[in-house]
Amino acid sequence: MKKLYIFCLAASGLTACKPNLEPEKPEAGQLSLERYLAVGDAFTAGFSDGALTKTGQNFSYPNMLAEQFGLVGGGEFKQPLLPGDNGYPVPKKVLAVRQGPCDTNASLRIVDYPGALDSINSSNSIAINGPFNNTAIPGIRAVDYIKAGYGENNRFSRRFFATFSGRPIDEVVRINPSFFSVWIGNNDVLDYAVNGGKESPKPFSSVTEFAAAYDSVLSMLIKKGAKGVAMNIPDVTTMPFFTALPAQVVNLTRRQADELNATNTMTFVRFNEGPNYPVILDGTDLRLLVKGEMVLLSLPIDSVKCAGWGTKKPIPGQYILTLEEIAAVNATLTEYNNIIRAASKAKNIAMVDMFTYFRSVSIPGTPYNGINYTANLVNGSFYSLDGIHPSARGYALVANRIIQEINLFYGSKISSVDANKYPGVEYP
Amino acid sequence: MKKHVLIATTLALSSTMSFGAGYQLNLQGLRQMAMGGSGTAVPWDMSTIFYNPGGMTAMDHWQIYGGAAFVMPRSKYVESPTGTYEAETQSQTFVPFSIYAGGPTSWRSPVSIGVGIYTPFGNGVKWDDNWRGRYVSQESYLRTIFIQPTVSYKFNEIVSAGIGLIYATGRVEFRRALPITDENGVDGSAELAGNGHGFGLNAGVHINASEKVQIGFNFRSKVKMDVDRGYASFTVPSSLQTAFPYTAFSTSLPMPMVTSLGIGYAVNECLTLQGDINITGWSAFNSLNIAYENNTPQLQDQNSERNYRNTIALRAGGHYTVSDRIAVMAGAAFDPSPVRDGYVSPELPDANRGILSAGLTYKAFERWTVMGALEFVSSIQRESSFDEGGFKGRYQTKAFAPGIGISYDF
């Protein structure tokens, strides 16, 4: 009797002791996510590690968003996928242990993918498979969206545009979106910044042109009643492309410093043991870099170590952002972002403040699902190896920031992306 | 690289689980377990060496007592605020145990002596290796064994007091994935394990306030479990191996002070009711600091805020003597969580707990008593985050624990 009683209790206990917790179901609210259109540039295309790849496209934030939208009525999401994975048009960046020509030891470095490219057929048109939901075009500026004929001159739009005569904005709305995301304007400032400011062959877009283009793009997107979300331009100078190399980029031993000081003809410079500010060419001015100025990640560091860049020869201005140029970048960016904010408000669409979000990743960093994301190159997890475009996990965080804003603005309950599902930076 | 096996042999007499709130266990006696964990006032048997050393002199003969519980906890995680992701801890059975021996130094002596070996703290949580929170925790264990020689003195028919010295030994194990991926996309991992030890004391006063009323007061001190030399091993891509060396580490984990006040009331010859208030000094767990012997730029000492708060648990139960041989017990308890919002980690997904329990004792022979108890624990669903790791969600823990014990009276 007693035994039976205990066994009954034990049996009921076994079922009662399983937690009965269920996650709350996501909801679209007032949104129709059946046809989601992503408009943008390299960030939206899934550009990562300095190149576009099929894997990178699959890890684009619009594709991640589409996956979450799929839980609440979202439809198919077509991307103009590349055939290859090693980079197009240039090889992607990877980490490798390498010894530079003037290094005493091999160390972990960012290098071009050393294997053969698999970009054959990458330039073929796949427009016949369209229209596409992700219409991002790496390299495009906001102002280009209203330039008729632009499509033919960009290798990425040439792959999937059905016609080239019209304006890109007319071409990208082919799927007749019920919901859209638009993240444009990055290249209008990056073209200037990543090429060293005034040395860049591509200056800033004019503010009036930018405003007109932005307004046309948004008007076109909402024309048939689609709802959407716009992203503004990140705080570009907090990206590792601008911050990873220290301003005192020249490292000298005592002996190297003494030798340089003995032969050096530039009276304004005296080198010391340890880190030194480099000599640069600012316009036609030969001078030392000063605190607060930036050495760009594009700088061929072996030329500094072996060929006397920054010591015997000035570092060309295309690898430097001077204080004046940084100020110009920030001022222009603020004007563009004011336009984006005003336009999205006027058109009554959600706006994600990526400027502030990217900044918050830089200072103080963002912990998410056990990873502390920072703006450090390589080990910061947020950025890919090119120092500008996020990694797959970085894009997942971007997607989550967008979802947060969509939910806030439209009252939907779309669930967030599991960033840990995506790969991190891969070490040899 | 792996010099020790982290996943220690299962079962045996280990004392691991996540059961009481925080990493405290309340399974040191079968009768007490059956009465919601209360037991400070009434010295039912030699397990009073743990519950209140002052009660030892109430027993006029020697007793050897042994018991074990089989604890099967399950915790579940779901993502929040919305989503589809859910994860459950792997099913494991933990066996906390207790052994007591004690009695008067001679016939009718006012002095009793005894020793207790028991497992008052423990924790064990194992998630799937590939789950979403793997960079926070994949597996964590705490095992402790306390050894407590005890002496008790009966001042008069009303008041007696006892004190025991505690030597504590224990083991902590912790494993998580590192967000450092190799060329095949495989995560790195960090495994830490070490043995610790510490000292403390357990003192109590027992008062026969009247024919019907007993009062107990018990103070169990904090035991600082020092892990002087644990070992950490890291699995990382080859290019980072020098940055993450195999290294010793040191840390310390507080087993908090518990102060209890209990009252027992004999309603009639058969029925006794009892209740306890436990104050647990969890605020001693302020932070978890791990100091590595070999630091590198990538491998720095870790200081992780815990910021626990003190808790007050309430326990009550009743004991009904059915016959000379049989007694039945039942009880309930409310055990609040010491973990504040913002600090709820999957390593110990803690929440306020409700406990229901029941038990039965059967005097099989003149000197042998067999004891059985069952306990159900359910935490209230808790939505919270582990801010340090940016990990949030909703958790619930449930556990089922049958216990058995046997005592022999000399």
Structure-block tokens of residue B214: 């007993």
Structure-block tokens of residue A391: 């990694």
CA distance A231 to A272: 46
Which of A71, A367, A372 is the closest to B84 by Cβ?
A71
Q: Taking 60 as the threshold, does the pLDDT of residue B15 lie above it? A: no
Q: CATH topology for A36-243+323-416?
A: Rossmann fold (3.40.50)
User: CB neighbours (10 Å) of residue A10?
Assistant: 12
Segments of chain A assigned to CATH 3.40.50.1110: 36-243+323-416
pLDDT digits (tens, 9 = 90+) for B142-175: 999 999 999 999 999 999 999 999 999 999 999 9
How close does chain B come to A371, measured CA to CA in Å? Answer: 6
Question: Judging by DSSP bridges, how do beta strands A227-231 and A350-352 pair with one another?
Answer: parallel
What CA–CA distances, in Å, run from A107 to A281, A285, A370, A411?
30, 35, 27, 50
pLDDT digits (tens, 9 = 90+) for A321-348: 999 999 999 999 999 999 999 999 999 9
Second-level CATH architecture of B30-409? Beta Barrel (2.40)
Q: What are the DSSP calls for B302-319, one per residue?
A: EEEE-----EEEEEEEEE
Which of A10, A21, A25 is the closest to B402 by Cβ?
A10
Structure-block tokens of residue A77: 């999401």
Contact at CB, A427 and B360, closer than 8 angstroms: no
Judge whether A413 is closer than 8 Å to chain B, CB to CB. yes
- Cβ A154 vs Cβ A12: under 8 Å: no
What CA–CA distances, in Å, run from A129 to A80, A160, A165?
8, 8, 19
Which residues from chain A sit within 8 angstroms of residue B81, using beta carbons? Answer: 24, 413, 415
Between positions 204 and 223 of A, the ones with CB within 8 A of B are none
Share of chain B above pLDDT 90, in %: 87
- Cβ A209 vs Cβ A330: under 8 Å: no
CA distance B119 to B402: 16
Angle, helices A323-346/A186-193, rounded to nearest 10 degrees: 180
Angle, helices A61-69/A392-410, rounded to nearest 10 degrees: 50
Contact at CB, A19 and B183, closer than 8 angstroms: no
How close does chain A come to B304, measured CA to CA in Å? Answer: 13
pLDDT digits (tens, 9 = 90+) for B72-89: 999 999 998 888 899 999
Q: Taking 60 as the threshold, does the pLDDT of residue B12 lie above it? A: no
N- to C-terminal Cα separation, chain A? 66
pLDDT of residue B14: 31
Q: Taking 90 as the threshold, does the pLDDT of residue A81 lie above it? A: yes
Of A225, A279, A219, nearest to A249 by C-alpha is: A279
Structure-block tokens of residue A195: 């090429």
Work out the pLDDT band at B221, boundaries 50, 70, 90. very high
Q: Taking 80 as the threshold, does the pLDDT of residue A9 lie above it? A: no
Stretch among A394-398, B19-23, B243-247 having the lowest mean pLDDT: B19-23
CA distance B63 to B24: 26
Which residues from chain A sit within 8 angstroms of residue B185, using beta carbons? Answer: 423, 426
Average pLDDT over residues A128-138: 96
CA distance A23 to B84: 6
Average pLDDT over residues B337-366: 93
Classify residue B143 by its DSSP letter.
E
Contact at CB, B82 and A26, closer than 8 angstroms: yes
Q: Which helix (H) or strand (E) holds A117?
A: none
What CA–CA distances, in Å, run from A92 to A84, A85, B284?
11, 9, 51
Amino acid letter, residue A154: N
Q: Taking 90 as the threshold, does the pLDDT of residue B251 lie above it? A: yes
Judge whether A414 is closer than 8 Å to chain B, CB to CB. yes
CA distance A284 to A268: 16
Which residues from chain A sit within 8 angstroms of residue B183, using beta carbons? Answer: 426-428
pLDDT of residue B16: 34
Structure-block tokens of residue A95: 């980490």
Contact at CB, A370 and B399, closer than 8 angstroms: no
Stretch among A64-73, A221-230, B22-31 having the lowest mean pLDDT: B22-31
Question: Judging by DSSP bridges, how do beta strands B247-255 and B223-235 pair with one another?
Answer: antiparallel
Which of B82, B133, B372 is the closest to A415 by Cβ?
B82
Contact at CB, B390 and A418, closer than 8 angstroms: no
Work out the pLDDT band at A11, boundaries 50, 70, 90. very low
Contact at CB, A21 and B176, closer than 8 angstroms: no
Phi, psi of A258 (to 5 degrees): -65, -45
Q: Taking 70 as the threshold, does the pLDDT of residue A305 lie above it? A: yes
Structure-block tokens of residue B222: 């904090």
Tell me what ipTM this predicted complex has. Answer: 0.90
> Which residue does chain B place closest to A420, by CA atoms?
B132
> Which residue does chain A place closest to B74, by CA atoms?
A18
How close does chain A come to B352, measured CA to CA in Å? Answer: 14
CB pairs under 8 A between A and B: 146
DSSP E strands in A316-374: the ranges are 320-321, 350-352, 366-368, 371-373
C-alpha angle B224-B226-B231 in degrees, rounded to nearest 5: 150
pLDDT of residue B19: 44
Q: Taking 90 as the threshold, does the pLDDT of residue B137 lie above it? A: yes
> Which residue does chain A place closest to B134, by CA atoms?
A370
Q: What are the DSSP calls for B47-110, one per residue?
A: THHHH-GGGGGG--S-EEEEEEE-BEEEEEEE-SSS-S-EEEPPP--B--EEEEEEEESSTT-S
pLDDT of residue B2: 34
pLDDT of residue B123: 87
Q: Hey, of B30, B76, B80, B82, which one would you mutate to test binding to chain A, going by the most A CBs within 10 A of its CB?
A: B82
Which residues from chain B sit within 8 angstroms of residue A10, using beta carbons? Answer: 374, 400, 402
Residues in chain B, total? 410
Q: Taking 50 as the threshold, does the pLDDT of residue A249 lie above it? A: yes
Contact at CB, A16 and B381, closer than 8 angstroms: no
Contact at CB, A367 and B390, closer than 8 angstroms: yes
Q: Taking 60 as the threshold, does the pLDDT of residue B126 lie above it? A: yes
Side-chain-facing half-sphere of A407: CA atoms under 13 Å: 18
Which residues from chain A sit within 8 angstroms of residue B136, using beta carbons? Answer: 369-370
**To 10 degrees, the CA torsion angle through A217, A219, A223, A228?**
70
Which residues from chain B sit within 8 angstroms of residue A381, using beta carbons? Answer: 179
CA distance A423 to B13: 41
pLDDT of residue B252: 94
pLDDT of residue A266: 80
> Which residue does chain B place closest to A12, by CA atoms?
B400
Q: Taking 80 as the threshold, does the pLDDT of residue A16 lie above it? A: no
Of B137, B138, B101, B143, nearest to B122 by C-alpha is: B143
pLDDT of residue B21: 64
Contact at CB, B236 and A426, closer than 8 angstroms: no
- Which segment, A96-100, A303-307, A327-331, is predicted with the most confidence on average? A327-331
Q: Mean pLDDT over all residues of chain A?
A: 93
pLDDT of residue B6: 29
Side-chain-facing half-sphere of A187: CA atoms under 13 Å: 17
Q: Taking 80 as the threshold, does the pLDDT of residue A13 lie above it? A: no
Q: Taking 60 as the threshold, does the pLDDT of residue A10 lie above it? A: no
Classify residue B343 by its DSSP letter.
B
The residue to which tokens 């892990």 are assigned:
B227
Contact at CB, B74 and A427, closer than 8 angstroms: no
Q: What residues have CB less than 8 Å from A225, skipping those under 6 apart?
A: none
pLDDT digits (tens, 9 = 90+) for B164-216: 999 999 999 999 999 999 988 899 999 999 999 999 999 999 999 999 999 99
Q: What residues have CB less than 8 Å from A269, skipping those under 6 apart?
A: A279, A288
pLDDT of residue B24: 87
- Cβ B138 vs Cβ B177: under 8 Å: yes
C-alpha angle A256-A257-A259 in degrees, rounded to nearest 5: 65
R_g over Cα of chain B: 22
